[in-house]
Amino acid sequence: MLTIRDALTLSSLGSAKVAAGSRGLDREIAWFHVIDIPQIIPWIKRGHFLLTATYSFFMVPETTKGLIKSLNDKGVVGIIMALGLYLKDVPGHMIDDANELGFPIITVTADNHLEDITRQLAEHILNGSEGFSKYDTWFHKIVEATAQDESLGKLTRIASEVTEASVLLLDNYGRALMADDLFKHLDMDGFFKHFREKEQNRSLNHTGLPQEGAYKNRTYFYYQIKGQNAEDIAFLLILDNINRIEFFKLILLQNIIVAMSVLITGKELHNTILSSHIPLFEDILYGRYVSRESAQHKAANMGWNVNANHVVVIIEPENYCQYIVEHQLTESQILKLQNKITAKISEQISAMQGKYPVSKQDSHFITIFELTKKLSLKKLAGKLEELVDNFSNDLSIHLLVGISSIVNDLSYFSTRINEAQECLKIIKELKNTRVAKYDELSMELVLYKVIQNSEIKHIYIKKIQKIIDNDLEFNSNLMPTLNAYVNNQANLALTARYLSVHRHTVKNRINKIGELLEMDICTTGALVTLTFLLKINEHTGHDKQEY
C-alpha cells in the first residue's frame, strides 16, 4: 500500500509542495497516469494518481474549470503538476475546489523529470517485483517510440509483445493494420465482419475504456482511440481474455493508447494501415498466393468486399522524362518531383475512395476501385479525368489512365492488370484520350493491333491512298465526302446537307469510293470498314505516298 503522504518521501519528490487538499494525503495510490490531453476523464480510473506537465491546461485553460470535482468524483486520488514550463501557478479555482474536497494537488518544478517520479512510484506499488522490471522495460519502449514519432505500427507491435497476444489496429473503415507477426492466431472466418457490424458501433460511447466481446469460442477486448480530430477514430483489438492480462500490462496498454491518440490523425492512420497492406495487395493483384481461399480471407481482413465488382486502374505520368530534360532538374530536384507526384496521386486516389493502397511499379501507379451505387464506372472515369486535369494544371505533368474491365473474383485481377496496361499502350499510340476504359476500346484495340503489324497497316494505307490520289488528280472531293458520310452514319440526305451538294452528287461519289476500294458500299458491314479506314488514316498521320 502506498499513500500520497508516503510518495512524498520518495527522492524524486523531495522538492514537491502540497499546494492544496492536504487532508487527502492518506489516500491510497492504486496506480499512476501521466496525461497531457484536454479530455482527461475517459482515460482515468479509480485509484489513479495523475501527473501532468500542464501543457493541456496551458493550451486549453477552460478544461481546468470543474476538473478537480470531476476527478474526485471519478475516484482519482490526487494530481502532481509540474510548473514553470507551461503553467507558472496553479489556477485559483483549482486550489479552492481541492481544499474543499480534500483532493491533494502536489506541485513540482519543471526540472523534476516525470519519468523519474513514475519509475519510483511503480517500483513501490509493485514492491520491487519482477512485474516492475517488465513494466519499466516496456514503458521505456513506449516513451522512446512516441518521442521519436515512430509509426502506429511500432506501437501496435509493442502492444502485442506486452500482452503476448494478437493485437490488431483497425481504422474507422474496419481495415486492419496488416502485419504477419500480429496475426499469428488469427484463423476465424467472419470475425472481422462480426466486429465491424456489432462491436465497432457499440463502443463509440466508451472512449479509452476496454470493452469485452466474444466471437464463437473466442474472447477479446478492445479500446476505442480518438485522435486529434473528431473523425479520426481507431480500435486497438486484443484477441485474448482481459482477465488473463496482468494489471501492469493493462496499465501499459493505457499508455500505448494515449501515445496512439497523439499520433492518430486521418493521414497518419490511413497511411500506416494502407502501406501495411501493399505486400499482400500486390500478391493478390499478381496472383502470387497459395490458394484462392486464403487470399480471399486475407483480403477480407484488409476490409475488402471480395465479392463486389472491382476495376484495376493504372496511372502513368506520360511526360515525366521530358519534363526533367526541359527543366534541367538536378538529382535532388528529380527526387523531390518523384515524391511530389507519388504523394499527390496517393492523396487524390485516397480522396476518391480511401479503401485500397496504391502500389508503385517503376513509373506506374496501380490501385483498384470497388464499384458501388455511389461510384459507378462512369463516375470513376469522370473523377480520374479530374485528377488528370489537376495534375496538368498544378504540376504540368500529363497523366495517362487505363481502367480494366470489371472483375469480381480475386483469381482474375492479374488479367485485369494486363487490360489496364493495354489501355495505356493504346492511348500512347492513338493519342485520342488520356483516360481509357478497356470495355470501350473495341475498335481502338483492333486499330492498335493493326498499327503494330506493319504488313497489315501497309495494306490499309494502300487502300486509302487510292482515294487520296483520285482527289489530287481529279479534284473529286472523295475524302471530305467519305468523312461526312461516315460521321452521318451512311445517311445520304444528311451528308448532302452537310456538304451543301445534291443528294445524287453524294451518291455518285460514294459509288466511286466503292469502286476504288473494290467493295460494296451498300452492305451492312461497309460503314464499319469505312470508319476503320478513316481511323487508320487519322492515327498513322498518313500523307500522300508513292507505292
pLDDT at res. 354: 66
Average pLDDT, the chain: 81
Task: Assess if residue 324 is contained within a domain.
Answer: yes
CA angle 318, 324, 326 (to 5 degrees): 100
311 and 439 inside one domain: yes
Mean pLDDT of 157-181: 74
The confidence band for 518, taking pLDDT boundaries of 50, 70 and 90, is confident
Contact by Cβ (8 Å): 4, 99: no
Spatial distance between the Cα atoms of 325 and 321, rounded to a whole number of angstroms: 6
Main-chain dihedrals φ then ψ at residue 206, nearest 5 degrees: -130, 50
pLDDT at res. 39: 74
Residue length of the chain = 547
212 and 227 inside one domain: yes
pLDDT at res. 206: 47
Q: Quick one: cell of 421?
A: 496496361
441 and 460 inside one domain: no
121 and 140 inside one domain: no
pLDDT tens digit sequence for 82-121: 999 889 999 999 999 999 999 999 999 988 778 788 888 8
359 and 249 inside one domain: no
Mean pLDDT of 61-73: 93
Q: Quick one: cell of 41?
A: 476523464
Spatial distance between the Cα atoms of 220 and 349, rounded to a whole number of angstroms: 34
Greatest distance between any 2 Cα atoms in the chain: 115
227 and 323 inside one domain: no
Q: Residue 513 in 3-state DSSP?
A: helix
CA angle 396, 387, 442 (to 5 degrees): 105
Parent domain of 326: 307-447
What stretches of 286-330 show up as alpha helix (H) in DSSP? Answer: 292-301, 320-327
Q: Quick one: cell of 40?
A: 482527461
Task: Assess if residue 142 is contained within a domain.
Answer: yes
Contact by Cβ (8 Å): 86, 58: yes
Provide the domain count of the chain: 4
325 and 442 inside one domain: yes
109 and 163 inside one domain: no
Spatial distance between the Cα atoms of 252 and 95, rounded to a whole number of angstroms: 31
Task: Assess if residue 170 is contained within a domain.
Answer: yes
Task: Assess if residue 302 is contained within a domain.
Answer: no
31 and 120 inside one domain: yes
Bigger pLDDT: 536 or 395?
Answer: 395
Q: Residue 383 in 3-state DSSP?
A: helix
Last residue of a domain, one of 392, 427, 447: 447
Torsion sign over Cα 137, 138, 144, 145: positive
Assign residue 373 the CATH number of its domain.
Answer: 3.30.70.270
Assign residue 214 the CATH number of its domain.
Answer: 3.30.450.40
Task: Assess if residue 113 is contained within a domain.
Answer: yes
Beta bridge partners of 313: 367, 403
318 and 423 inside one domain: yes
Task: Assess if residue 298 is contained within a domain.
Answer: no
Q: Quick one: cell of 151?
A: 509509426
334 and 253 inside one domain: no
| Numbers of helices and strands, H then E, in the chain | 22, 14
Last residue of a domain, one of 420, 447, 474: 447
498 and 407 inside one domain: no
Question: Of all helices (H) and strands (E), which one includes residue 403?
Answer: strand 399-403
Main-chain dihedrals φ then ψ at residue 314, nearest 5 degrees: -120, 130
